[in-house]
Amino acid sequence: MFAGYRIDASKKPVNLSLNSDLLKMGKDLGLNLSSIAENALAQAVKISMAERWLKENAEAIEAYNARVEAQGVFSDGSRTF
């Protein structure tokens, strides 16, 4: 699966501000907080990039959908389903 970023990129220490109770619970449960934060950030980046792509391409998508609505798709005459 393509992640959209270099999975093997070096790790960089950062400072985060987190809810102290939530942080304590995560540590007490032995959760890998760095991994969880990285996965959550990767998911947020993926969603944001998809939203950006849709916004940037909205005009082309709308034009394509209008053309399909008016003319159909190229395989309309040859499909068997």
How does pLDDT run across 7-57, given as a tens digit for each residue? 899 999 999 999 999 999 999 999 999 999 999 999 999 999 999 999 999
Percent of all residues in the chain with a pLDDT value above 90, rounded to a whole number: 79
Residue 13 belongs to a domain:
no
| Average pLDDT over all residues of the chain | 92
Residue 60 belongs to a domain:
yes
Pair 43, 3: CB distance under 8 Å: no
Q: What is the pLDDT of residues 44-74, one digit of tens each?
A: 999 999 999 999 999 999 999 999 999 888 7
Pair 5, 48: CB distance under 8 Å: no
41/55 Cα distance (integer angstroms): 21
Our count of domains for the chain comes to 1
Residue 3 belongs to a domain:
no
